[in-house]
C-alpha cells in the first residue's frame, strides 16, 4: 500500500504531465485540479507545499517555452554564458564537488570486488532515491519506486561488492542538497565507475549552474568534441548519480526536454524546482544587498 507521500507525489506528477501536454492552452487552476480529481483549493495547497510555489508560477518553468527562452537568451555561446545567468555562489553546483575520482581498472573489471558499499533509501521531493557510498565518496544515486528494486539495481551495477544497509555521513551530506541553502552545503565527493570519456562528460555536467540548461551539442563543445554529440548523449544517459550530476539540465537543441533515465515527468519537475530555487536565491541576494545594515 502506498504511503500518503507517495500518493501526493503521484498526484503532482500527474499534474505536471497535464501541464506539459496542455501548456499551449495555458490551463487554469480549476482545469489542472480537475485533471487529477482534486478540488482547486486542495490542489493549490498540495502543489504549493510540494513545489514551494503556486501551480501558475510553476507552469512557466516546466513548459517548453521556458526551455526555448533560455536557449534563445544563450544563443551566442550557450554553455559558456550559462555561467553569467546564475548566481556566483548558489547556482554553481560544481563548486560543491572536490573532484571526481574514477575507480581503478581492476575495480571496474571485477564489478567492485574490492569495494564495500553502504546504501540506504530516502525520500526526496521527487520520490524515493537509493544512494550508495564507498569510503571515497558517492558511487550511486537512483530514483526508485521501492527499496527492493533499488537494491537489485545497485547490485547489478556492483555485483561483487560488499553491500551494507547503512546510512553514513557521505550520504547525509549528499541528500542535504534537497533541503538546505546551497551556499551552506558541505563539499561532496564522488567515486564513480566509468570510462575516461564518461568521466569527462560527467565532470562537464557539473559546470551547468542551478536554474540553467545546456544542449547535448554545447556539452560536446565544452569538452572540445563538437562532433561527438551522440557519444556525449550516451555518456549522459549512463550517469550513475541522479541529481548530483545534473544530467537533467541537458535538453535537445529544439527546446524539447529529451530523454531521462528516471522519467521525463521527473526531469521537468526538477528543472522547474531548480528554476524556482535559483530565482528565490537571486531575490534573497538582491534583498541582502539593498537592505539597510
Question: What would the grid cell of residue 164 be?
Answer: 551494507
Band of the pLDDT at 287, cuts 50, 70, 90?
A: very low
Task: State residue 197's pLDDT score.
Answer: 86
pLDDT, mean of residues 99-118: 77
pLDDT, mean of residues 107-130: 86
pLDDT in tens, 135-152: 999 999 999 988 899 999
Contact 213, 67 (CB under 8 A): yes
Match 501558475 to its residue by C-alpha cell: 56
pLDDT in tens, 70-88: 555 544 344 443 333 333 3
Question: What would the grid cell of residue 213 be?
Answer: 540548461
pLDDT of residue 32 exceeding 70, the answer is yes
d(CA 12, CA 52) in angstroms, rounded, equals: 13
d(CA 81, CA 72) in angstroms, rounded, equals: 12
pLDDT of residue 269 exceeding 60, the answer is yes
Task: State residue 69's pLDDT score.
Answer: 58
pLDDT of residue 38 exceeding 90, the answer is yes
Average pLDDT of the chain is 80
Contact 241, 199 (CB under 8 A): no
pLDDT, mean of residues 113-121: 90
d(CA 241, CA 62) in angstroms, rounded, equals: 22
Task: State residue 97's pLDDT score.
Answer: 67
Task: State residue 183's pLDDT score.
Answer: 66
d(CA 89, CA 118) in angstroms, rounded, equals: 31
Radius of gyration of the chain (CA): 19
Q: Which residues are catalytic?
A: 247
Which of 108, 124, 111 is CA-nearest to residue 5?
124
Task: State residue 83's pLDDT score.
Answer: 38
Scored b (16 or more CB within 10 A) or e, 131-148 reads: bbbbeebbbbbbbbeeee
Q: 36: Cβ–Cβ under 8 A, 6 or more apart, which residues? A: 11, 14, 15, 18, 43
d(CA 60, CA 66) in angstroms, rounded, equals: 6
pLDDT of residue 201 exceeding 60, the answer is yes
Alpha helices (H) in the chain, listed in sequence order: 4-22, 29-35, 40-51, 55-62, 64-73, 78-85, 105-109, 147-157, 169-175, 196-205, 216-222, 229-237, 264-290
Greater pLDDT, 18 or 20: 18
3-class state of residue 2 by DSSP: coil
> Which range among 2-6, 15-19, 65-69, 116-120 has the greatest average pLDDT?
116-120
Task: State residue 291's pLDDT score.
Answer: 47
pLDDT of residue 263 exceeding 80, the answer is yes
pLDDT in tens, 142-200: 999 888 999 999 999 999 999 999 999 999 999 998 887 666 677 888 999 888 888 88
pLDDT, mean of residues 37-57: 84
Q: 269: Cβ–Cβ under 8 A, 6 or more apart, which residues? A: 12, 13, 16, 51, 62, 125, 126
Band of the pLDDT at 290, cuts 50, 70, 90?
A: very low
Contact 123, 131 (CB under 8 A): no
Task: State residue 65's pLDDT score.
Answer: 53
Band of the pLDDT at 249, cuts 50, 70, 90?
A: very high
pLDDT of residue 109 exceeding 90, the answer is no
Q: All domains of the chain, ordered by start, with CATH?
A: 1-62 (1.10.10), 73-264 (1.10.10.10)
Q: What share of the chain is helix, strand, coil (3-state, %, to 5)?
A: 55, 15, 30
Amino acid at each position: 500500500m502506498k504511503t500518503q507521500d507517495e500518493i501526493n507525489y503521484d498526484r503532482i506528477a500527474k499534474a505536471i504531465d497535464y501541464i506539459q501536454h496542455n501548456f499551449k492552452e495555458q490551463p487554469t487552476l480549476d482545469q489542472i485540479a480537475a485533471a487529477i480529481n482534486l478540488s482547486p483549493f486542495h490542489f493549490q495547497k498540495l502543489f504549493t507545499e510540494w513545489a514551494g510555489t503556486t501551480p501558475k508560477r510553476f507552469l512557466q518553468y516546466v513548459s517548453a517555452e521556458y526551455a526555448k527562452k533560455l536557449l534563445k537568451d544563450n544563443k551566442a555561446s550557450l554553455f559558456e554564458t550559462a555561467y553569467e545567468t546564475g548566481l556566483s555562489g548558489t547556482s554553481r553546483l560544481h563548486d560543491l564537488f572536490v573532484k571526481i575520482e574514477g575507480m581503478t581498472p581492476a575495480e571496474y573489471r571485477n564489478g567492485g570486488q574490492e569495494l564495500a558499499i553502504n546504501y540506504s533509501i530516502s525520500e526526496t521531493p521527487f520520490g524515493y532515491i537509493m544512494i550508495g557510498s564507498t569510503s571515497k565518496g558517492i558511487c550511486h544515486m537512483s530514483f526508485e519506486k521501492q527499496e527492493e528494486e533499488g537494491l537489485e539495481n545497485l547490485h547489478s551495477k556492483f555485483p561483487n561488492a560488499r553491500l551494507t544497509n547503512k546510512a553514513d555521513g557521505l550520504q547525509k551530506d549528499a541528500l542535504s542538497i534537497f533541503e538546505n541553502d546551497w551556499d551552506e552545503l558541505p563539499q561532496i565527493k564522488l567515486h564513480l565507475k566509468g570510462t575516461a570519456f564518461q568521466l569527462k562528460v560527467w565532470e562537464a555536467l557539473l559546470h551547468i549552474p542551478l536554474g540553467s540548461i545546456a544542449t547535448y551539442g554545447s556539452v560536446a563543445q565544452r569538452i572540445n568534441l563538437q562532433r561527438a554529440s551522440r557519444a556525449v548523449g550516451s555518456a549522459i544517459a549512463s550517469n550513475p548519480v541522479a541529481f548530483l550530476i545534473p544530467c537533467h539540465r541537458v535538453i535537445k537543441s529544439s527546446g524539447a526536454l529529451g530523454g531521462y533515465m528516471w522519467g521525463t515527468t521527473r526531469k521537468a519537475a526538477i528543472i522547474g524546482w531548480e528554476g524556482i530555487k535559483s530565482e528565490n536565491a537571486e531575490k534573497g541576494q538582491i534583498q541582502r544587498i539593498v537592505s539597510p545594515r
